[in-house]
Amino acid sequence: MDDFLFSDEPNEVIEPESSGKWKVIIVDDEPEVHAVTKLALSDFEFQKKRLEFLSAYSGEEARKVIKEHPDAAIVLLDVVMETDDAGLQVAKFIREEAKNNHIRIILRTGQPGQAPERQVIVNYDINDYKSKTELTAQKLFTVVMSSLRSYRDILAIEQSRQGLEKIICASRDIFATHSIEHFIQGVMQQLTSLLGTVDEAMYATSLVASNQCSKQSGQLVVFTGRGEFERSEGKPISEVLTSDQLEACNQALQDKGIVYKNNYLFAYCSSEYNHSSMLFVSGIPEHLTDTQKHLIKIFSQNVQLAYENVQLQAEIESTQQELVYRLSEALEQRSTETGNHVKRVAYLCELFGKYSKLSHHDVELLRMASPLHDVGKVGIPDAILNKPGKLDDKEWDVMKSHTLKGYKILQGSRREIVNAGAIIAKEHHEKWDGSGYPEGKKGEDIHIYGRIVALADVYDALRHKRCYKASWGKEQALEEINKQKGKHFDPKLVDILNAHIDDVEGILTRYPDKPQ
């Protein structure tokens, strides 16, 4: 065989790796071909990686080896083995069944007439076609080298594609976060996806609403964190970082970039509205690839925008909730109720919703919308609303109309919270056995929001003083609720109330009625 002529490799797209091997599968029914191929390529090296040879002597064996080694770079494939087209069928198997589009297929044949090159190239997804008589040692070296370069570049493209997909998913997920509490958790989760491991994280910013001093001075304050930084919220970073960490942080601020130090990094985060936020992450891999560093750079640029998105979302939700509370409490003040009833009902609904296995979204929506349950009482005369004695039939019909009045006020909105409030306003006086109003709905035909608010509203009303009754004790109220299990109330919800009565009473204690 011809002597190999080795030349220095030009600069590669990817930095040379110090370990690992390129897998080459030899598929041929002649053992001599395996031996000669291994000998010819015995000292082959590319990017400081040698070749690892895997042998198969038939098409059936080749299928097995290819399945077991999906990371193989090259297959040197004979055409004629147990059948005249065994090699061609293996090539078809690789692309169509194994779905391996990375491996480079080099077809070798000793009988070119049986598998014409033009026909094979057109009909099968192979990368090179060589006659065994022309495949000298030098040409074998050349074809393997060029195939490995192609394989390397395909992997680089695939890694870039996967990286782009990851960064899109990470950015999407972090922007989808609507909770300040979940923000840093989302950051850590997505960085773990990008890097493989993350121990601790901290996000520091000068935009901390509760710290006016930091806003004026521009000093970075820990906004949220995990690990050692979980209890550091609101503290200046100078109090929570070591001297080495603080030095790296200041360097990142000065360079407006990312500083890698030991097993942690500081990433400068900025946006159009804020130019002084910092992301700290520890427990990262010792050696990061250029691709990973590039992804971190993109991600850190998106983190600041995501944070501001979360902050804005939280502000909008807080404003909505406060307006709902204030409107509902204003309605309560028309009666002899003394406030905080709507707030207690909201948190009781949140509790019952959580243990009813509602989604997080539904639980939050229920908590925010439930204070609107009695909004229809705005249309009920004071004489009826505050009558200390029992209502007569005509008065009771007027009182019952508050459900439909509330529904008409709230229905047809494009806002989820208002639409949920409309459902609750109409259905929170329906009863499990169908004896409720306004429509006499029964069982699960009553919306789960209505069933939950019904229980929360009645339990809280029993436990507090009203114009027509004194407050009841816990045991007396529970006894009445259990009597109405399966009649007024959803049995499963009553079971939840009984199982979590301490949590229920805790909510009542936290939000007592205001003094008259």
Using CA atoms, how far residue 451 sits from 136, 352, 417, 494, 497, in Å, is 82, 10, 17, 10, 13
Structure token pair of residue 346: 């909201």
Q: Which of 377, 405, 426, 431 is catalytic?
A: 377
CA distance 224 to 237: 11
Q: Which of 168, 224, 211 is nearest to 193 (CA)?
A: 168
Q: 422 φ, ψ to 5°?
A: -65, -45
Task: Show the 3-state SS of 107-132.
Answer: EEECCHHHCCHHHHHHHCCCCEEEEC
In sequence order, the 6+-apart residues with CB closer than 8 A to the CB of 208 are 214, 215, 221, 223, 234
At how many degrees (to 10) do helices 474-483 and 501-510 cross? 130
Q: Report how far residue 17's alpha carbon sits from residue 49's, in angstroms, rounded to the nearest whole number.
A: 7
Q: How far apart are CA 180 and CA 41, in angstroms?
A: 59
* SS3 category, 259: strand
Question: How many Å apart are CA 236 and CA 513, to the nearest integer?
Answer: 38
Pairing of strands 264-269, 258-261: antiparallel
Query: How many of the other CB atoms lie within 10 Å of CB of 149?
Result: 16
Q: Is the peptide bond before 285 cis (omega within 30 degrees of 0)?
A: no
- Please calculate the CA angle 400-405-408 and round it to the nearest 5 degrees: 145
How far is it, in rounded angstroms, from Cα 452 to Cα 369?
12
Active site residue 99: no
Yes or no: say if 200 and 227 are a contact pair by the CB < 8 Å rule.
yes
Tell me which long-range contacts 258-261 makes (C-beta under 8 A, separation of at least 24): 258/293, 258/296, 258/297, 258/300, 260/284, 260/288, 260/293
Distance CA 257, CA 268 (A): 5
The candidate with the shortest Cα–Cα distance to 276, out of 238, 202, 219, is 219
| Closest by Cα among 353, 377, 334, 354 to 467 | 334
- Rounded to whole angstroms, the Cα distance separating 234 from 441 reads 51
Structure tokens at 477: 């109220």
Token pair in block for residue 361: 């979204």
Among the listed residues 245, 103, 267, the one whose alpha carbon sits nearest the alpha carbon of residue 194: 267
Active site residues: 377
